Structure 1
Amino acid sequence: MKILHTSDWHLGQHFMGKSRRDEHRAFIDWLLVLVGKENIDAVIVAGDIFDTGSPPSYAREMYHQLVLDMKARACQLVIVAGNHDSVSMLNESKSLLSYLDTQVSSQANLDDIEAHVIPLMNKQGEIAAWVCAVPYLRPKDVMKSLSGQSEQDKKIGLMQHISDFYQQVYLLAREKNKTLKMPVPIIGTGHLTAMGGQASESVRDLYVGTLEALPTSVFPAFDYLALGHIHRAQAITKDGRFRYSGSPIPLSFDELGREKTLVILDTDLFVEELEEKELPVMGDLFASGPEENKIEPIKLVNIPMFQPMASLKGSLKEVTKQLNEKGLVEGVKPGQTLWLEVTIIADDYLSDVQKRIMEVIDDKPIELLRVMRKSTLEKRADVFESRQTLSELTVGDVFEKSLQTNLDIEQEDAKTLTKLFHVCLAEMEESQNGLSDDVEAIENAHSEKTNKNSEENDESHEEEQE
């Protein structure tokens, strides 16, 4: 079967005074076409379906119409609550929606683990996957606070309770799997900050109790983990098994640099692998195999931008030049306007910046939503403030970003420094390779010596026994 993973829709959001209703409607229409085109069997929304606990009426209408549209396409819908969602509001229609093949997990329930294990059915009406539907975990849902605990004890205790809850749900799914003729994939969900995830300015700092981020070791060995909360699409494990789908529309200007995506998981690979084995044992969707024959179990689908947005940065002269370029408004359709953010970098305070920008865009389909001013010193700090983890950056990337922070270096000097850097890097790697060979030789010699001593000791021991 095919499972679609998405999250962080934030229906009902207002962005700097602008409604996102038309964007969300356009996205949902596009999504429904994709569900039919790709023959999707189930859709998982990993939290923050709404932007607030009391969303506007049009957002609720979109939500309920989505359920009906999915039902009409014989596509199951699984919705888990995020930190923006109201538990009571989601529970209002939860029971009714279950009759329309939509399952809602609004709150962790330690007394009813069964409610968190949801079967996904294929077109033949057979169970083709299990979803461990874990919503945003509030501390009060998984543990009781004890007096006299230190901050560190609270962190350790909360992490252990979260891990225990995930394990209970996962183990129940494993037990249910044993009752089937052939085991099926187990898909996990989560709405939290996991270590390695890159945030954006639209992501509200999410603290699960006193925990800023959870290590991936907290999660069981899911065949796939559908995460929500971080708005930038990204994998947090090397094999891509644990992944944030990201938000479908840019929820802040700093999300404009990357494509918005959703994930399609194809479990047919899991079934094919099991059929090659004699016993019904667990398969692995992400098992490594020969690269030339390997088929990826997931596909990332780029989402179109339904509302033109742009963020310009530079001196007033540079920004004015960018505003006059034809390409800036090429993608703007009739009846639309470009939402614009401008950051002016200048050491001198310019009191009429906004007025001068408004004069430039007066005859253009552009709405100026925000103007910010920064000094060159602030820019240096911003350039180096990478929203990437070091594990995703190469040594060359770090060097390049370091160069960018020093605005006093001329372009020709930067090229020379970069060339010298790569020469040094090549020499260092060559030296390290030689050192690795030496270390390996020493380890091998030590191993041989250890084995020889062990053999001599065995022979001596046998002689003593004789």
Structure 2
Amino acid sequence: MKILHTSDWHLGQHFMGKTRREEHKAFIEWLLTVVEQESIEAVIIAGDVFDTGSPPSYAREMYHQLVLEMRARACQLVVIAGNHDSVSMLNESKSLLAYLDVQVISQADLSDIESHIVPLKNRQGKEAAWLCAVPYLRPKDIVQSQSGQSEQDKKEDLLEQIKDFYLRLYQLASKRNAERKQPLPIIGTGHLTAFGSQLSESVRDLYVGTLDTLPTSVFPPFDYLALGHIHRPQAIGNNGCFRYSGSPIALSFDELGREKSVVIIDTNLLSKDKQVMDDLFAEQEDPVLLKKVPSFQPMVSLQGDLQSLLTQIEYLSCEEGKTIWLEVSVVADDYLSDLHKQLMEAVEAKPIELLRVMRKRTQGEISVTFTERQTLSELSVEEVFDRSVAASLELKDEEKSALSQLFQQCLEEMNEQTEGDDKVEKDTVE
């Protein structure tokens, strides 16, 4: 069978005040066409199907319509929860969607390890692969903290528990294979940051407890590992079968210049028996195919001095009926007070929306005046906090370090609130 791996849709996202509704609609229509043309029999969304724990109603409608469209195409759908997804919101329709051949894995459940083994079936209804479905892991779901543990001990214990969880799932799938005459490929999932992966601006730091990255050694020898969270499509490891599909649309300007894609996996070619070729001189087929996702929204990032930027903007063009979302980085030693005015005049009467203006120095240290006049839109949350702490002269170095750690914990707790574990708004005004 053929399986399609995708992730990080972030339905309901607003990008610098702009809705992504039409982009997501166009992507889903394109995806359904791919399902038909490529004879896809199962789709795995490896986390962050939604952007927040309480997405707007139109995003939920897209999600439920997707389910119906997949059902109409006899294509199995597996939804893995990411760190942006609300466990309780996904659980609201989980039981109902199961009747429509949709499996939703919202959180790790050590008391029901069997529920994480999802049989992937071909159109004939026969099992063709085992999916070890692992969502974004919360420490409270897989480990209990013990008093007296140091931070290092907690990290090592958590890492061991994650590794054990994956191993138990792999062993259970292997046991099922042992009961069959012909073993099936074993596929894993994960929504995390693997060591060595390349991040982008739109990817928030993701901690599993106090672990910011996980080594690939925690994963068993899956035939394929479908990863989510990192928005740049990339392979982890040497064989190309541990892979981030990446987000289908650019979620930040620094993701431009790299093709967006979904991954198509052919389980017949994943089978270990297929690794032995009858003809040693025959060219072996790759079980993994990257399918390029079209760009549904023109986005451009320009950099240079003011005069260079004005010239570049003059030559910008795009498809009729489309509007370019533009980010500019102005390289200058002095703070230009009329910068925004000149840029707005340059894009006037053009199909361009100027979404962000950044300022960069050409050389030397950034002057106090230059720094003071930077706007909040040019700074990250962490940079704002770091500058506030640095400005507090009465604080000692160790106090600044402690504050930084507490701030990071607060950010993580605030991000956890978006999951809506305790309460999800039943309706959100668009």
User: Could you give the per-residue CA deviations for residues 367-425 of structure 1, whole angstroms, max 9, x where no partner exists?
Assistant: 00001111013899xxxxxxxxxxxxxxxxxxxxxxxxxxxxxxxxxxxxxxxxxxxxx
Residues 228 and 244 in structure 1, CA contact (< 8 A), matched pair in contact too = yes
User: Could you give the per-residue CA deviations for residues 46-97 of structure 1, whole angstroms, max 9, x where no partner exists?
Assistant: 0000000000000000000000000000000001000000000000000000
Structure 2 counterpart SS, 1:51: coil
Shift of the 220–47 alpha-carbon distance from structure 1 to 2, 3 Å rule, reads same
Paired with 1:118 and 1:257, the residues of 2 have a C-alpha distance of 36
Paired with 2:282 and 2:326, the residues of 1 have a C-alpha distance of 45
Structure number with higher helix proportion: 1
Q: Does 1:348 align with 2:313?
A: no
Structure 1: runs of 5 or more not aligned: 275-282, 381-466
Residues 241 and 288 in structure 2, CA contact (< 8 A), matched pair in contact too = no
Residues 79 and 104 in structure 2, CA contact (< 8 A), matched pair in contact too = yes
Q: Which has the higher contact order (CA 8 A, sep 6+)?
A: 2
Count matched residues: 365
Aligned to 1:48: 48
Paired with 2:289 and 2:121, the residues of 1 have a C-alpha distance of 21
Q: Does 1:337 align with 2:327?
A: no
In the alignment, which of 282, 288, 305 is matched to residue 315 of structure 1? 305
Q: Does 1:93 align with 2:65?
A: no
How far off is 1:181 after superposition? 2.5
Paired with 2:361 and 2:171, the residues of 1 have a C-alpha distance of 55
User: Could you give the per-residue CA deviations for residues 265-302 of structure 1, whole angstroms, max 9, x where no partner exists?
Assistant: 0112245x63xxxxxxxx659x9x96861211110011
Structure 1 counterpart SS, 2:111: coil
How far off is 1:186 after superposition? 0.5
Letter in 2 for 1:219: F
Aligned to 1:301: 291
Residues 345 and 379 in structure 1, CA contact (< 8 A), matched pair in contact too = no
Paired with 2:306 and 2:226, the residues of 1 have a C-alpha distance of 43
Q: Which has the larger radius of gyration?
A: 1
Superposition CA RMSD, Å: 1.7
Aligned to 2:119: 119
User: Could you give the per-residue CA deviations for residues 154-203 of structure 1, whole angstroms, max 9, x where no partner exists?
Assistant: 11000000001111111111111122221110100000000010000100
Q: Where does 1:112-151 land on structure 2 (aligned, <5 Å)?
A: 112-151=112-151
Paired with 2:270 and 2:50, the residues of 1 have a C-alpha distance of 33
Paired with 2:124 and 2:335, the residues of 1 have a C-alpha distance of 68
- Percent of paired sites with the same residue: 66
Paired with 1:205 and 1:248, the residues of 2 have a C-alpha distance of 20
Structure 1 counterpart SS, 2:363: helix
Letter in 1 for 2:291: V
Paired with 2:125 and 2:168, the residues of 1 have a C-alpha distance of 27
Shift of the 344–93 alpha-carbon distance from structure 1 to 2, 3 Å rule, reads same
Paired with 2:324 and 2:365, the residues of 1 have a C-alpha distance of 25
Paired with 2:189 and 2:270, the residues of 1 have a C-alpha distance of 19
Aligned to 2:357: 371
How far off is 1:257 after superposition? 1.6
Letter in 1 for 2:185: P
User: Relative to structure 2, which stretch is displaced further, 86-95 or 172-181?
Assistant: 172-181
Structure 2 counterpart SS, 1:89: helix
User: Relative to structure 2, which stretch is displaced further, 356-365 or 171-180?
Assistant: 171-180
Paired with 1:70 and 1:141, the residues of 2 have a C-alpha distance of 31
Letter in 2 for 1:351: S
Structure 2 counterpart SS, 1:322: helix
How far off is 1:255 after superposition? 0.3
Residues 116 and 134 in structure 2, CA contact (< 8 A), matched pair in contact too = yes
Structure 2: runs of 5 or more not aligned: 367-430
Letter in 2 for 1:97: L
Letter in 2 for 1:344: V
Letter in 1 for 2:145: S
Letter in 1 for 2:283: N
Shift of the 291–49 alpha-carbon distance from structure 1 to 2, 3 Å rule, reads farther
Paired with 2:275 and 2:252, the residues of 1 have a C-alpha distance of 37
Paired with 2:76 and 2:297, the residues of 1 have a C-alpha distance of 28
How far off is 1:98 after superposition? 0.6
Q: Where does 1:174-253 land on structure 2 (aligned, <5 Å)?
A: 174-253=174-253
How far off is 1:29 after superposition? 0.2
In the alignment, which of 339, 347, 358 is matched to residue 361 of structure 1? 347
Structure 2 counterpart SS, 1:301: strand
